[in-house]
Structure 1
């Protein structure tokens, strides 16, 4: 379905919650999203201005399909399809209240897109620092040299530790810092998916010397 289809499906909705399966998530749009947030759980909504709507705005929420039973427990199911659920809302959807709610949600910033082949990434919190390659320094995390961490963690003598590539440790260090700094509570399901994809790309593009080449930003 397109954004226009979602708008049309919600135009006359006053008593239902319509969910669409998108990948590993259930998503609700417009009035259905409002009903979910005000009657079931206060998920963080995402509002975007879309070219396909001539600049019009579409608001949505989403949650992992694995939590379906817990989130939807007690709701009456009117229609059940593999990729679509229709449930009775707990109370009528008041259009004026929906419009006020939608207007109060700030527009999501468009994601920046880097040129193909550009290894620079959008800055992220708690990212480990990488020393210049010309200096031959390993990646450090929280100010502790990677080789020193490797010696401490695996118990190798300094000479033996130096002979071992620090790829695994330095990569794990960066990934751990990014996971620790990621604000899961205030992120949308799609942002979580992009974050996991970003980490996967980081692991793939890590080289054998222990330094990390950041993937292009999303």
Structure 2
């Protein structure tokens, strides 16, 4: 999946964790990273600026081989093409998410949506 596709999924995500298979790692982005960090494990959050979407994107990752150990059968999940979806998560508190984005020094994902909206109006 491209970063644009991932951001599109994340912008409406409130109650799922999407883990994307990237090489030998599983990675969660933005809201999924927040939910993973909050409910499952406090892995280090990394940030990367993507010029093509004009946005800093937060992510966390871990080896795919440690998935079962990390999850410890606490949540149900399904396998989809190149990703795992953890679905029985409490809905995200948008105020907590906004605070988290500020604490990690990054712009909220909504900035990306404003850019898309402006582009569509042109």
Please indicate the TM-score interval, normalised by the length of the shorter structure.
Answer: 0.7 to 0.9
Could you report, residue by residue, the CA deviation over 1:52-101 in whole angstroms, capped at 9, with x for unpaired residues? 112x1111100111111011222111x31352111124321112211211
Structure 2: runs of 5 or more not aligned: 107-122
1:45-194 equivalences in 2 (<5 Å): 45-54=45-54, 56-73=55-72, 74-77=74-77, 79-81=78-80, 83-106=82-105
Structure 1: runs of 5 or more not aligned: 108-218
Q: Larger RCO: Structure 1 or Structure 2 (Cα < 8 Å, ≥ 6 residues apart)?
A: 2
Give the secondary-structure state (helix, strand or coil) at the position aligned to 1:49: strand
Q: Judging changes above 3 Å, is the alpha-carbon distance between structure 1 residues 67 and 99 closer, same or farther for their aligned structure 2 residues? A: same
Q: Which has the higher strand share?
A: 2
Q: TM-score, normalised by structure 2?
A: 0.79
Structure 2 Cα separation of the partners of residues 82 and 14 of structure 1: 21
Structure 2 Cα separation of the partners of residues 94 and 46 of structure 1: 21
Q: TM-score, normalised by structure 1?
A: 0.46
1:167 alignment counterpart = none
Structure 2 Cα separation of the partners of residues 100 and 49 of structure 1: 19
2:115 alignment counterpart = none
Over aligned residues, Cα RMSD in angstroms?
Answer: 1.5
